[in-house]
Each structure stands twice: as C-alpha cells, then as structure tokens.
Amino acid sequence: MSYRFALTLFALIFSFGQPESRAQSTVPARALKDSAKFPIGVALNVGNAPGDMADIREIAALINAQFNSIVAENGMKMRFLHPAIDTYDFAAADALADYARTHGMILHGHALIWHHDYQLPVWMKNYQGDWQAMLRDHVQQICQHFAGKVKSWDVVNEAIDNKHPKQYRATLFLEKLGPAYIEQAFIAAHEADPAAVLYYNDFNMESKADKLQFMLDMVDDFQRRHIPLHGIGFQMHVSVDSPAIAQIKTALQAVAARGLKVRISELDVSLNQQQRAASLDPALAQLQKARYREIVSAYVQSVSPAQRGGITFWGLLDKDSWLLDGKPYPDWPLLFDDKGQTKPAYFGVLEGLKE
Ligand code: 9MR
C-alpha cells in the first residue's frame, strides 16, 4: 500500500462522523482569530490601485470575523509604492492601513526589497547612480511613512538562491552592492522606524536543508554584528505531502532557538501539483485538513508564545489563489471555497491551534 493511499484511507476513516464533513458551513465555528494566541492573517490582493478596497466588500465580513492581521498580496511591493525615482505612491496602501486600523487589525508590510522582475520598478532596473543611497532612501521613505501603521516588515524577500542554496541569489541588488545590501536594508529600516519588527522572508527553507543552513548562517552573522533583524518569515507554500512535517519542525525550531520571532508568512497547501484531480473530493479535502492541522500544531509546539509573529494565509478564497494563475489545472489551496464556505482545511487549522 502506497504512503499516499494509506493516508487517504486513514483520512476517509477518520473523517467519517466528523461534523464538519457533513455540514461544513452550518457548523458554528469559533473564529480563527479567537482560537489563536497570536496574529492570524490573510493576504488581500488589494492596494494595487487607489479605490480598489471596494473589491473586498463582498468578503469583508469573512475577513473581519476570522482574521486580526492583513498583508497586501501585491499592493505594497516596490513598483506600487515607488513607481518613479522621485515619486512614492502611498494612496492605495494607505487605504489598506485605514482598513486595518478601523477593524483593529495588524498590518504587515510586504516587501521592501524584492528582486522579482515584475515587481521591480522599471526606473530602478536602469538606475545608474549611488545604489546604496538609493536603496536606503527607498527603505526609509516607506518605513517612515508607515511608522505606527505597519507593525512589521518583510525587509528583504527571497535573497537566497533557490537552485544553488549555498549562495545568495544573483539579483540586481547583489550585482550592485554585494550581499551587504541585505544588512543595509535592515539597518535603514530600523533607523526609520525603530518600533517595527523586521523580518527576512523566504521559501523552501524547510524543504532544503542547505537553504535553511545558509539562512541560519546569515542570521548568526547578523546577530554577532548586531544587525537589527528580528524575525524570519517562512512562506510555507507547501503541498499536501511535502516537505515532511519533521523538516518543518526542524526549521521552525532552529530559528526559535536563536531567540528570533517566527512567522509562517504565506501559508497555502496545494493539492494538485501532480495534476491528477479534477475536483476537490472529500478524501483530498481531509488530507488537506490533516496537513493544515499538523503545520499549525508544529508552529504552536516549536515556537514559544513570545516569539510567535503569527500565521498568515496567502489568500482567502480558493479561486483567488496565486497557485491558479495561468494554470490549466485546478487547485484548492486555501481554507475557504469560492463561495466563502469553510472547508475541512479550516477545521484542521482550528484543531492545530488547540494542540
Ligand atoms: O501572490 C502573488 C501574485 O499575485 C503575484 O503575481 C506574484 C508576483 O508579484 O507574487 C505573489 O506573491 C508572492 C509573494 O509576494 C512572495 N512569495 C511568493 C508569493 C507567491 O508567488
């Protein structure tokens, strides 16, 4: 019997008689945010253009009921906030900050420095002047503007090479400044907003031991030299059966042991990487539930209360997940279906929070 088949069988047997598998949407559930002793967040694909907060009107009730922390899935990336060398455009992000304030939510900022071609402002790609001064100004203008509104920042995102994880990623920033751009960004952010909690954010650090080690070496070096890095964000775009939960725990514990804050910053659980499923059948949904449960439970068990920066889900409804972008096959990675009904995954999170 294959591991996957055994898991499916187990999930099916286990799910039989569980109230939420019979009537998911009618079971009164305790809200996620009320069940956790740490921030429970969701990424919202708003803040990309002024006025687009209106887009979330239909899902606002769900967001407000379940979450106490939000992050812009895209709208606070470099090219949105800093579209021209002398122009910062804060209007849309300010609307998001207002939303957070009005609803008593934390706003996490994502991301001050990210190499991704699509998010890099065109002017920056062609910049010929003093790169250190320019990046410092970029970071400081943004941090100063949002001081008191943004509680924590992803200061640098995805700086480690994913294919060759024993080195930094070959980005424009590395080319211009060497690895020093990373610590320079943290120092600049801390100067501009000393109260902000500053994170390094990346993916696959739980699935690739050498990537984890490279990140830890960077952290150790920063701690020795008192660079103001306060936490690590594990994006945690995982699939239902990989990486192993033991690897996830090892990674979380290694950061926690260094006294840093730990966030699970972009959690989703894809179900269909093998492109075998045409629909979300109950067995698959139960597998996903068990997976969410074990990840949340691993977080609670591995990170002390004072070090928990929280868990943020990378989207609200399945249909809005980035994992579906341009894909010819379906997936159902999040906690709520396309109509905003709770999936078994949601109850997996609730159970994990109790452990
Ligand atoms: O979910 C985001 C998607 O809508 C964007 O097109 C993409 C490029 O900007 O970024 C996605 O979010 C990424 C996040 O910013 C950083 N970690 C990986 C996320 C998924 O690609």
The torsion region of residue 326 among left (phi > 0), alpha (psi -120 to 50) and beta comes to left
Cβ(89)–Cβ(51) below 8 Å? no
CA of 271 to the centre of ligand 1 (A): 18
Binding site membership of 74 for ligand 1 (Cβ less than 6 Å): yes
> Residue 319 and residue 331: Cα distance in Å, rounded?
8
Cβ(11)–Cβ(286) below 8 Å? yes
Q: What is residue 29's predicted lDDT score, i.e. its pLDDT?
A: 66
DSSP assignment of 43-85 equals EES--SSTTGGGGGGGGHHHHHHH-SEEEESSTTSHHHH--BT
What token pair was written down for 42?
């969701």
CATH number of 9-354, picked from 2.40.30.10, 3.20.20.80, 3.20.20.70, 3.40.640.10 = 3.20.20.80
The torsion region of residue 72 among left (phi > 0), alpha (psi -120 to 50) and beta comes to beta
> Residue 238 and residue 272: Cα distance in Å, rounded?
11
CA of 323 to the centre of ligand 1 (A): 9
Burial 153-169 (b: 16+ CB within 10 A, else e): bbbbbbbbbeeebeebb
User: What is the phi/psi pair of residue 217, to 5°?
Assistant: -65, -40
- Judge residue 118's burial from the number of C-beta atoms within 10 Å of its C-beta, 0-12 exposed, 13-18 middle, 19 or more buried: exposed
Binding site membership of 266 for ligand 1 (Cβ less than 6 Å): yes
Binding site membership of 73 for ligand 1 (Cβ less than 6 Å): yes
Coil, helix or strand at residue 329: coil
Q: What is residue 49's predicted lDDT score, i.e. its pLDDT?
A: 75
Which residues have CB under 8 Å from 271's CB, separation 6+?
A: 239, 240, 277, 280, 284, 287, 288, 331, 332, 333
Q: From first to last of the 355 residues of the chain, give the pLDDT tens digit.
A: 444 444 444 444 444 434 433 334 444 468 999 999 999 999 999 877 767 787 888 899 999 999 999 999 999 999 999 999 999 999 999 999 999 999 999 999 999 999 999 899 999 999 999 999 999 999 999 999 999 999 999 999 999 999 999 999 999 999 999 999 999 999 999 999 999 999 999 999 999 999 999 999 999 999 999 999 999 999 999 999 999 999 999 999 999 999 999 999 999 999 998 899 999 999 999 999 999 999 999 999 999 999 999 999 999 999 999 999 999 999 999 999 999 999 999 999 999 999 8
Return the best residue to mutate from 76, 169, 266 for the ligand 1 pocket (most ligand atoms within 8 A of CB): 266
Active site residue 294: no
Active site residue 355: no
CA of 16 to the centre of ligand 1 (A): 36
Q: Domain boundaries in the chain?
A: 9-354
